[in-house]
Chain A
Amino acid sequence: MIADDARPRLPRGVRLREDKVRDRWVLLAPERVVKVNPIAVEILKLCDGSRSLAEIIAGLAERFKADAGRVGTDVRALLASLAEKRMVEL
């Protein structure tokens, strides 16, 4: 379980960018291209190391008028799977 006060960020060498040729967003890491869906893009844009996980979840819940509990589940699942691949630092 990721702590509420964790400040997730993309480590150096991991880049979130738009892939205009294929009309999608991708996360680029060493030898990896991960397709990122529009919701995940919004989450990852907030992972700059300055915001806590609690702030990221609250901000997204308010912006998308969604239940904070559900948003929290999605955000934690995404970040945990990327951390396993060393594509996010917590």
Chain B
Amino acid sequence: MSETPPPPEGLLAELTHRCPLACPYCSNPVALDKAADEMSTEQWKRIFSEAADMGVLHLHLSGGEPCSRRDLSELVEHAVKVGLYTNLITSGVGLTRDLFDRLVAAGLDHLQLSIQGVDAPQADFIGGYKGGYSKKREVAEWTTREGLPLTVNAVIHRGNVEDAPRMVDLAVELGARRVEIAHTQYYGWAFKNRAHLMPTRDQSERAYAAVEARRAHYMGTVVIDHVAPDYHAKFPKACMSGWGRHTLNVSPSGKVLPCHSAEIIPGLEFWSARNRSLSDVWNHSPAFNAFRGLDWMQAPCVSCERKEQDFGGCRCQAMALLGDARACDPACTKSPHHHLMGEIAARDSSGPVEGFAPRRYQREGGGNGQALVG
């Protein structure tokens, strides 16, 4: 691709990988960036300014837990000043009343709160943090009382799949304007813990239908965004709305990625926002250009009528399951390897939920984290 690509609309800023929770489905890489490697306040501010100049509209402040950054309200203030719509993606744990007030004063536009379950025992077991559930309810109350729009998001897996429709009800009870029900996408920690998280096909399908049935009921009350279970799908997701088309991620240490999982693809050259401008990386980095457009496609994608609709699905999934990042995402029924998805799902949905590896920093020299592999 020689011409300059259209500018991105969204920037996911993973401010830190530090997080008090230990959710086994975390989309962060298994090798987490350490606090000492995180970028400075000034570096993040410069990136936000560059993003706004490029045409980024939405800034998603994420992590890890973004509230672990002591400069969070200063970063929000700067992002608002340069015109970005600021979305805080938080677990709520670590968000004090004082910090909440400072974020509101800084002009935060929207707060997205994760929930791990519909009651404290279930939620706190998955999050690995006692008291997390009640803290989240408190943060939801601050948010709605302030009049700030609230999104509640829940990741669905075998441990809570039966409760998926009740997650929507809980979001409404908490006063959310939007709810995101996302079946686990198996990357990062979720890939590692797949054998503990995968629901059965029957569970996935029932949960999906039950949430869809809530749509008409809650029309005008809550907007439902629903992320389908990949392993039980007929067609792949349009991952990231296409590689390098709409959004970019910046990791805590400054690496600029087309998606949070892209580093699993060998041979890609990622550039850093520490020593290059964001627009230089977006326009010219080899990793972003690797799967832009449609020229990289193979059969069956290259002749598929859906190729500009789902862009062949997810490159990371093709890599993780088939060892070829250019292959058709095996979530697609047109992939000659589609049967693998069903076979893996059947195998991985048969054991206990317990025994997963909690998302934590692995100890230095602690046996390569072997103890964490379930």
Show the binding face of A for B, using Cβ within 8 Å: 11-15, 17, 19, 21-22, 26, 28-31, 33, 83-86
Across the interface, name the chain B residue whose C-beta is closest to A13. B149
Q: Which chain B residues border A12 with CB–CB below 8 Å?
A: 147-149
Q: Which 6 pairs across A and B sit closest by C-beta, in order of nearness?
A: A21-B55, A13-B149, A28-B85, A30-B110, A13-B110, A12-B147
- Interface residue from A13, A15, A19, A31 paired with B225 (Cβ < 8 Å): A31
Across the interface, name the chain B residue whose C-beta is closest to A20. B55
> Would you call B225 and A17 a contact (CB within 8 A)?
no
Show the binding face of B for A, using Cβ within 8 Å: 7, 9, 54-55, 57-58, 83, 85, 87, 109-110, 112, 147-149, 151, 177-178, 180, 219-220, 222-223, 225
Q: Which chain B residues border A21 with CB–CB below 8 Å?
A: 7, 54-55
Q: Majority SS of interface residues in chain B?
A: loop
> Would you call B55 and A19 a contact (CB within 8 A)?
yes
Q: How far is the CA of A84 from the CA of B147 in the complex (A)?
A: 19
- Interface residue from A11, A17, A33 paired with B149 (Cβ < 8 Å): A11
> Would you call B54 and A31 a contact (CB within 8 A)?
no
Using A19-B55, A33-B57 as known contacts, list a sample of 10 further A-B pairs with CB atoms less than 8 Å apart, ordered by residue number in A: A11-B149, A12-B149, A21-B55, A22-B7, A26-B57, A28-B58, A28-B109, A30-B177, A31-B225, A86-B177
> Would you call B148 and A83 a contact (CB within 8 A)?
no
B251 to chain A, nearest CB (A): 21
Q: How far is the CA of A14 from the CA of B58 in the complex (A)?
A: 12
> Would you call B58 and A13 a contact (CB within 8 A)?
no
Across the interface, name the chain A residue whose C-beta is closest to B177. A86
Q: Majority SS of interface residues in chain A?
A: mixed
The verdict on A13 contacting B148 (CB below 8 Å), with A30-B110, A86-B220 known, is yes
> Would you call B55 and A31 a contact (CB within 8 A)?
no
- Interface residue from B83, B178, B225 paired with A86 (Cβ < 8 Å): B178
Q: How far is the CA of A84 from the CA of B216 in the complex (A)?
A: 11
> Would you call A85 and B57 a contact (CB within 8 A)?
no
A14 to chain B, nearest CB (A): 8
Q: Which chain A residues border B225 with CB–CB below 8 Å?
A: 31
B143 to chain A, nearest CB (A): 10
The verdict on A30 contacting B87 (CB below 8 Å), with A12-B148, A12-B149 known, is yes
> Would you call A33 and B58 a contact (CB within 8 A)?
yes
Q: How far is the CA of A13 from the CA of B197 in the complex (A)?
A: 34
Q: Which chain B residues border A30 with CB–CB below 8 Å?
A: 87, 109-110, 112, 149, 151, 177-178, 223
Q: Which chain B residues border A85 with CB–CB below 8 Å?
A: 223
Q: How far is the CA of A36 from the CA of B87 in the complex (A)?
A: 21
B100 to chain A, nearest CB (A): 15
Q: Which chain A residues border B110 with CB–CB below 8 Å?
A: 13, 30
22 A-B pairs with C-beta separation under 8 A: A11-B149, A12-B148, A12-B149, A13-B110, A19-B57, A22-B7, A26-B57, A28-B109, A29-B149, A30-B109, A30-B112, A31-B58, A31-B87, A31-B178, A33-B9, A83-B220, A84-B219, A84-B220, A85-B223, A86-B178, A86-B220, A86-B223
Across the interface, name the chain A residue whose C-beta is closest to B222. A86
> Would you call B54 and A15 a contact (CB within 8 A)?
no
Q: How far is the CA of A29 from the CA of B58 in the complex (A)?
A: 9
Q: Which chain B residues border A14 with CB–CB below 8 Å?
A: 149
Q: How far is the CA of A86 from the CA of B87 in the complex (A)?
A: 17
Q: How far is the CA of A15 from the CA of B147 in the complex (A)?
A: 15
> Would you call A15 and B151 a contact (CB within 8 A)?
no
- Interface residue from B7, B151, B220, B222 paired with A31 (Cβ < 8 Å): B151
Q: Which chain B residues border A33 with CB–CB below 8 Å?
A: 9, 57-58
